[in-house]
Chain A
Amino acid sequence: MGATRIDTPGRLLWREHSKALASFGIVALLIAVGGAISSGFASSGHILMLVKTGAFLGFLSLAQLIVIVSGNGGIDLSVGAVASVGAVVGAAVLHGNDGNIAASVAVVAALGLAIGLANGLMVSFLGLPPLIVTLAMASVVNGSIYIYSKGLAVSATSSPFLKLVSNGTALGIPNAILVWVGVTALCGLVLKYTKTGIKLYGVGANETAATLKGVKVPLFRFWVYGVSGLVSAISGLLLLGYIGTAFLDIGSRYVLPSVAAVTIGGVSIQGGSGGYLQVVAGTLVLTVLGALLVSLQTGEAGRQIVLGLVLLLLLAIYGRQHSANRGRFLGGLFRTRRA
């Protein structure tokens, strides 16, 4: 190859995964700090429990990742609501009965896909801004659940198998973590080795170039939102297994953290790049940080403040955008014109 030197595998690996590695480093640091402060924090049992808790945020962050990578301001604020509806509807179909598992999964998947495609339709073909569309959709979906449950708490429960998947252990490792590992591997495969994955990166990185190379971009994005909905809904089903009952708000606390997890992992909010491993790292940072703050007994207040500050800090490092001014502070308090 001309006059070139071949990159060593180590160098390649570093370039590809430096951001994820940095985030994992932060996780390790936080665990160490936690261990120093409160005994048992860094114990294997506790770490496993943390990772298990993080898995569910991880699944929803996957949905968020693909939408963000698809570019053009892509974001999905309905992931929480769709997870909730997945849990509620899933529970209803299950009726606590393992025999209905297949039907439950099918119905939930179809529902999630449909809602996601509705989002995709409005974003891609009507050209509406993703932020508002998915926000409004969240309202519509949450509202629908509320109507369906007539405002009462939904008392449906999950089935034993589901509980096993989300809450059981195999060889001492929580099944949820095994599922998460499997999902991570699958993502790595799909995003890097399949037509769809590679197409996705091109679409997010440079819409024009992707179009000129034959990709039907609006149609593709339409399906991306659909898949996001599907993943969110199935995540809701898994949440049902984890928590045991489905209630209205089960997913809403995951929405903005899913966006945060993606950003903390170093994925650009403008799309076109970023892998799931980074998101896993970001999810773990959030989860461990949250747990650390709990153990510090800072109280909810302290937790929120630190979370916010950390997020801002990471944004300032990773997530800055282009601006006309290039951010220069051009003298004078009231002057609105340039020198």
Chain B
Amino acid sequence: MAEYILELRGIEKRFGGVVALDRAELLCPAGRIVGLIGANGSGKSTISRIINSTHQLDAGEFLYQGKKARFHSPMEAARAGISMVYQNLSLVPDLSVWENIWLGNEPLARGGFLDDGAARDRALELTKQLCGWIDIDREVGTLLPAERQLVEIVKCLARNPKLLILDEPTAPLERSHVELLFSLLKTRKSQGDSTIFISHRMPEVTEICDYLVVFRNGRTAGTIDFEREGKDERKIIELMTGEAAEVRGARERSVSSARKVLEVQGLSVGPKLRDVSLTVHAGEIVGLAGLHGQGQEELMLSLAGFTRAERGRVLVDGRACRLRHPADAIRAGMALVPGDRHRQGLFLSHTIYMNAIYCRTGLADTPWIMNRNSLKEAVQKLCGDLRVKASSIFAPVGELSGGNQQKVVVANWLPLEPKVLLLDDPAKGVDVKAKAELYGLVEKLTEKGAGILLYASDNDELLRICDRILVIYEGSVVGELLNEGLNERDIVDASVRSARAADAPAHERVEG
């Protein structure tokens, strides 16, 4: 058997103008459980998609089992033995568990008819280790998200992959499921099969992996062979955040007022957000730190009135609000710049003008017949102030760059003079210049007395403009840091420490 099951060297990948991978390298020793970690935007997702051939590399070397390989589709890669479990499941809701497990891969009997007996038996075997309590005749649509994830993993396993790639597999799972998954991975290892385990959860990575590859800024920052070098968390964090841990200065302005524009008390939303409390003062920028998917988006959407909270109180400017619909939130003075600007923030086929004036249509004090001339002027001025680069305000928004699109989203809210501005990762996919302009705008808003709640997946952004940073982990606020002489390591440390505390002995945890 070759020493490495997979060798990727000098990999380069670009999406449009953005460089995702810059001479990245990934050597996966055979028969091991290789962990792949990195911050958001580090390139770890991109390289995993190159491995399973969803994307093709622009340059570089791809060796599989010691031989040069090039697969044109994930299906081809799967047939060669490389199987990846995505976060976007490929399960069909109306078919049963066992039918889904074999979808596209059905065992056949004589004459080309489906061999359902063999399929069911084998499915029973396969599910025993990982999710034995699920009746394989049940429709997948009736399962819980965690259960669906487990079925998706079994589906991949049914193809007997030599290299199994798991992309954030434990995100929807509970601790007990994770234990089952780990014992399954250990079984794979004992059989000589390889696994790549992509996760942001440090404790899990250190528990199950025996080899670690750390990505940063589109490159391999370093590797650690746990079996030979031991598991040193400090070293891991160092690799993740980089040697140069400069001290970021505190913001140059101080919070002027003690007036609370936003108060959240004990907010719980679904399984992802539990008992969150926070305060934002007028003129203050409060940041939410933490890796993606820890509940930040749920918090934003709930405050915006889109998702209803099960428990908790929200006060804007001292007055309690009942947020049953975004219209309520808007009336209270809250505005949301959503995380997915294409799906949640913009009407892509419509003009900048239409997008910029749209939220006025929901306001009672806008006249029914909207004065196009004055509105045109207003939008023109806004776009000028925000430096939106477009051929005219009647250009379709879909043609703009990400940064300019985001500016249009914000421009939508500015005339309403919101008291609280909620920003869900506003600079994601935005170029450097536009990012600076956006954050400059945010700071200007605070001078007028607005309060800002900002989630950014890039800690640098938070460190640059926030007054306070709340660390969110698994749906709760686990730490609050004043931004005085803070650097990124402090934030990552705080997240890791709370992860450790959260994974305390299972019987002490209360399961949701």
Contact = CB atoms under 8 A, between A and B. Distances in A.
B142 interface: no
A208 B360 CA distance: 16
B271 interface: no
Contact of B362 (A15, A201, A214, A273): A214
B19 to A, nearest CB: 25
A305 interface: no
B313 to A, nearest CB: 22
Contacts of B367: 195
Given A199-B361, A201-B354, A216-B325, A2 B347 contact: no
A202 B346 contact: no
Contacts of A7: 391-392, 394-395
B389 A2 contact: yes
Contacts of B330: 213-214
Nearest to A16: B394
B254 interface: no
A273 B398 CA distance: 14
A335 to B, nearest CB: 12
A80 interface: no
B133 interface: no
Contacts of A205: 347-350
A338 interface: yes
Interface centre among B304, B325, B358, B383, by most chain A C-beta atoms within 10 angstroms, is B358
A338 B78 CA distance: 12
Nearest to B367: A195
Interface stretch (B80-88, B166-174, B175-183, B336-344): B336-344
A212 B345 contact: yes
B370 A194 contact: yes
A273 B349 contact: yes
B75 A12 contact: no
A146 B511 CA distance: 62
A213 B383 contact: no
B10 to A, nearest CB: 29
A215 B348 CA distance: 17
Interface string A1-33: 111111100001001000000000000000000
Contacts of A206: 343-344, 346-348
B368 interface: yes
A205 B355 CA distance: 11
Contacts of B380: 1
Given A214-B359, A215-B361, A202 B366 contact: no
A6 B395 CA distance: 10
A4 B389 contact: yes
B306 A212 contact: yes
Given A195-B368, A213-B412, A202 B387 contact: no
Contacts of B76: 339
A190 B370 CA distance: 10
Nearest to B390: A4
A213 B350 contact: no
B415 to A, nearest CB: 13
B394 A12 contact: yes
A337 interface: yes
B327 A194 contact: no
A198 B393 contact: no
B258 interface: no
Contact of A198 (B336, B349, B354, B392): B354
B222 interface: no
Contacts of B333: none
A193 B363 CA distance: 15
B357 interface: yes
A273 B387 contact: no
Contact of B326 (A2, A211, A338): A211
A211 B368 contact: no
B368 A5 contact: no
B361 A193 contact: no
A272 interface: yes
Contacts of B348: 205-206
Contacts of A211: 306, 325-326
A278 B222 CA distance: 60
B354 A195 contact: no
Contact of A214 (B344, B363, B388, B389): B363
A196 B76 CA distance: 51
A209 interface: yes
A249 B18 CA distance: 61
A18 to B, nearest CB: 13
A8 B338 CA distance: 33
Contacts of B358: 198, 202, 210, 213
B384 interface: yes
B366 A195 contact: yes
A198 B348 CA distance: 14
B312 to A, nearest CB: 20
A101 to B, nearest CB: 28
A214 B324 CA distance: 11
B256 interface: no
B129 interface: no
7 closest residue pairs by CB, A with B: A214-B362, A7-B392, A205-B347, A213-B359, A214-B327, A195-B361, A199-B361
A206 to B, nearest CB: 5
A8 to B, nearest CB: 9
A114 to B, nearest CB: 24
B104 A193 contact: no
Interface in B295-323: 304, 306
27 contacts: A1-B388, A2-B387, A2-B388, A2-B389, A2-B390, A4-B391, A6-B392, A7-B391, A7-B394, A12-B394, A15-B394, A192-B372, A193-B369, A196-B361, A202-B361, A205-B350, A208-B344, A209-B338, A210-B358, A211-B326, A213-B358, A213-B412, A214-B326, A215-B361, A272-B349, A338-B75, A339-B76
